Structures are given as C-alpha cells and as structure tokens.
Amino acid sequence: MKKHSARVAPLGSYSTQVLTCPVSEGEDGSECHADALGSEASEDSRSYQTCTLTLLKVLGGLLVVLCISSSWVGTTQVIKLTFHSFSCPFFISWFSSNWNILFFPIYYSVHVLTTRDKQTPIQKFRECSKLFGEDGMTLKQFVKRTAPFSILWTLTNYLYLLALKKLTATDVSALYCCHKAFVFLLSWIVLKDRFMGVRIVAAIMAITGIVMMAYADGFHGDSFVGVALAVGSASHRLSTRCCLRCSWQCKPGGGGSLPLHMGVFNLLFISCVPLILYLTRVEHWGSLSALPWGYLCGLAGLWLVFNILVHVGVVLTYPILISIGTLLSVPGNAAVDVLKHEVIFSVVRLAATCIICMGFLLLLLPEEWDSVTLRFLANLADKKSEDHGEELTDSSVNGRSRSRANGVVSIPWHEREIHVGPETHFSVLRQVS
C-alpha cells in the first residue's frame, strides 16, 4: 500500500512544532487523526486548567489583600479608641500577643475540613514543631529559637502603640511602611544583595517623607517623638524579618507555626513584665472589672486575624499582594480619620504620606523590572512596525485594484513605467511587446 506523511500542526498559541505521523488509507489514517485531535484536546484542557488556577489565585489574592487592609485598619482604629479609657500600651500588646495561641486550633480546624488524611492534634503539633529538630521540641531549643523573635515582636508592637498615642493613625501607618526601605538598605549594605537604582530612590523618598513628617509641627513636641517611635517600630520590624528569614523559614513548618510558638513564649516568659509595670505604677490597670474588655478582645481578635492572613496568605497567593494590603491601610486610616475623627491634614503631612507610599510602591518592583520593561517596549514597537507594513501593503493593493478598474496598467521597462490606457498610441504598444 502506498504510504505518505501527513503534517498536523497544532494551535499556534501552544507550540510551533509539527507533528508527523504515517497515514495510510483506511483505519490507520483515522486513528492517527484521532490521536492528533486527542493531543490537541488534552493541551486545550491543560491550558484551561492553568488559566483557571491562575485566575482563582489572583481572585483569592485580591480577597486576602482586602481582608489584610481591613483588619489592620480595624486594629489601628480600635487601639485609638482603647486609649480613651485605658492607656496601658504594654499590657495591650502583651494581651493581644497571647491570642496567638489560638492559631493552632484554627490551623487544625482548617486541616480537618480540607484534607482527607486527617492527623490527630498531637501529630499536627509535632509537625509544627519540626523546626526545633528531628528529636522534637526541648526547652533549650524553644527558648533559643523563639526568644529573639518574640522579644523583637513585642518591642515592635509596643513602639507602634506608643506612636499611636502621639500621632494620628494615618501618620503612624504611613511611617510603619518605611520598614521596606530599611530592609533593602540592610540587605544591600550587609547582605551584599543586588544594587538597584530604583530602590535607592525609593529609600531616599522614604527618608524624605520621615523628615517632612517630623517637620510638619516643628522638630519639637509630641509630633517629633511620635515620628521617632514609629520609625523605631519600623526598624524593629526590620530586625524581626531578618530573624524570621535566618532562623525560622529555613526549617519546615517554621513560618506556619510562628504565631503559635510566639504566643506560648509570650505567655510563659513575658508575663512578668506587665506585672512589674503594674507594681511600679508605670501602667496602672485598676480593677479587672474596670478594664474595657470589649475593646481589648476586639483588638486582640483583629490582630490575630491580621497575623494569620499574613502568614497564610504568603503560601496561598503572591507575596507582593500581602505588601499591597499593608499599604492600602494608609488610605483606609485616612478615610476613617477624616470622616469619623474629623482630622484635618496639613499640606506637609499629606505630601509626606504620598511620598512614603510612592517609595513603598517602587520597592515592590521586581529585580528584573527594567529588562522586562525594555522587552515589552521592543515587542510593542515590533507590533507597530508590522501593523504599519500591513497597512502599506493593503494601500498598495487597493491602489493597484483602483488602477485596473480605471483601465490603467503600470508596466516596468528599463526602470521606467509606461502607463497604458485606452488612448495609448499603437506604436508604443508595439515597442513594449
């Protein structure tokens, strides 16, 4: 039987390779054609699944961004409300940090609802404690790995609360975003990371915003102290992130079990500090029944939700969306301050806030943003040139068709054109022939 080769080209959006298969008359040709159609259908289904997963991940990330910004705005505003009747920042920070122990019950409940191979609570707790070594968690390893991070975390929250007593929620949330610039400067100077000019510009913008914020009311009074406290909170956030990167994320289960171990360490070892402050009359609580438990529990719950979303959102969606959620807390707090508290922002404070936010956005650019931008512009220029060439081709074809319709034909002859029409002399036609 005579056999020949049939070339079957798949869709251009998937591959440019040509599939070759022997085809014969009868059943062999139909089977090969069916295999080709089946491969194309499988590629279509895989592409559809990939697009669906990407879309779901983006939508989930947008939902996480909205929840993160809302929880952080709620936390900041509830802190401001709590200070009206209870002005003990360290006790508030300690009480809120203890709620991180609830991270494990929530984490285990999600595990039971989403997985088929369910583990017991003890097994899941051992899995979360793998960062302490294969032998399990010991008191020495627990203190060694948890103490630095927990202490830095407590200082970060305490300075943040002190700054909220001096400044508005918008100013403090904007200054808190400067920790990104500090992280880049430390990584570039100490860790010898890649130099990026745009991030240097962003760091300069962040420092400029800090100076402008301090200059808004003059370099004196509560404004300057509040700016210093907010910058100190951002600096401790930088140290916390470095500690997390070096000591926790290199171990399995470190990032996910972080709030749990932090809450346990806070309850066991830091509980003596609020008691000392109470006995020395630095922070006087009064009777336990007089405490604003509604505000305290609401604040602690919102802070717990924020911590869970930050640690889980990094796994479920893109990490850049978590940073965007933190940045969106600045306009959220500004809206609440203007509408509810009737805060009037000066031009200097508004400009400083905008500069800090712009610098934060510049710091979110990826390392290869310049090459990606140049590649995109080159592709755009190539597309425009192709479209222009197609327009010239179409115009030339249309011109020729119109010339033929009018009875005029262009004939090249010795690099010259002789236009032949109905009125052309017969001698010229004989020369052309």
Give the pLDDT band of residue 381 (cuts 50, 70, 90): confident
Confidence of residue 161 (pLDDT cuts 50, 70, 90): very high
Residue that finishes a domain, picked among 320, 345, 363: 363
pLDDT tens digits along 235-245: 877 766 666 65
**Residue with more model confidence, 355 or 219:** 355
| pLDDT attached to residue 96 | 93
Asked if residue 13 and residue 123 are part of one domain, the reply reads no
Task: Say if residues 137 and 129 touch (Cβ distance below 8 Å).
Answer: yes
Residues 10 and 132 in one domain: no
Give the chain's length.
433
Same domain, 275 and 186: yes
Looking at the fold, whether 189 and 297 belong to one and the same domain comes out as yes
74 and 40 in a common domain: no
Which residues make Cβ contacts (< 8 Å) with residue 295, sequence separation at least 6? 78, 81, 82, 85, 86
Q: Are residues 79 and 142 in the same domain?
A: yes
Same domain for 308 and 236 = yes
- Assign 299 a pLDDT band (cuts: 50, 70, 90): very high
* Lookup: tokens for 327: 């940045």
Rounded CA separation 105/135 (Å): 24
Residues 6+ apart with CB under 8 A from 5: 20, 21, 22, 23
Arithmetic mean of pLDDT, 294-319 = 85
> What pLDDT does residue 191 have?
65
> What is the domain extent for residue 41?
4-48
Q: Give the per-residue pLDDT at 385.
A: 74
143/273 same-domain check: yes
Indicate whether 430 belongs to any domain: no
What pLDDT, on the 0 to 100 scale, is given for residue 107? 81
pLDDT score, position 15 = 41
- Under 8 Å between Cβ of 30 and 47: no
The percentage of the chain sitting over the pLDDT mark of 90, rounded to a whole number, equals 18
Question: Both tokens of residue 344?
Answer: 């009037």
10 & 101 share domain? no
Domain contains 220: yes
Mean pLDDT over 142-150 rounds to: 82
CA–CA separation, 214 and 209 (whole Å): 9
Whether 409 shows a pLDDT value over 80: the answer reads: no
Residue ending a domain, among 340, 363, 386, is 363
pLDDT tens digits, one per residue of 6-53: 444 444 433 444 444 444 444 455 545 555 555 666 666 777 777 877
- Is residue 370 assigned to a domain? no
Picking from 199, 192, 181, the residue whose alpha carbon sits closest to that of residue 367 is: 199
pLDDT, position 355: 92
pLDDT at 192 over 80: no
Angle at the Cα of 335 (from 356 to 78), degrees rounded to 5?
95
Which region, left, alpha or beta, applies to residue 133 given φ > 0 means left and ψ of -120 to 50 means alpha? left
Bigger pLDDT: 130 vs 98: 98
What pLDDT sits at residue 178?
A: 86
Residues 297 and 203 in one domain: yes
pLDDT at 12: 44
Average pLDDT of the chain? 75
pLDDT at 243: 60
Model confidence at 219: pLDDT above 50: yes
In a domain, 292, yes or no: yes
Domain assignment of residue 306, yes or no: yes
Q: Which residue has the higher pLDDT, 182 or 230?
A: 230
| Residue 416 counted as domain residue | no
Q: What is the pLDDT of residues 328-352, one digit of tens each?
A: 999 999 999 999 888 888 888 889 8
Average pLDDT over residues 197-208: 86
Q: Is residue 54 part of a domain?
A: no
Confidence of residue 210 (pLDDT cuts 50, 70, 90): confident
Same domain, 117 and 256: yes
pLDDT-derived band at 424, boundaries 50, 70, 90: very low
The answer on pLDDT for 272 being more than 80 is: yes
Looking at the structure of the chain, the number of domains it has is 2
Q: Which of 314, 332, 363 is the last residue of a domain?
A: 363
Residue 224 domain-assigned (yes or no): yes
pLDDT confidence of residue 294:
92
| pLDDT value for 70 | 93
Shared-domain flag, residues 43 and 149: no
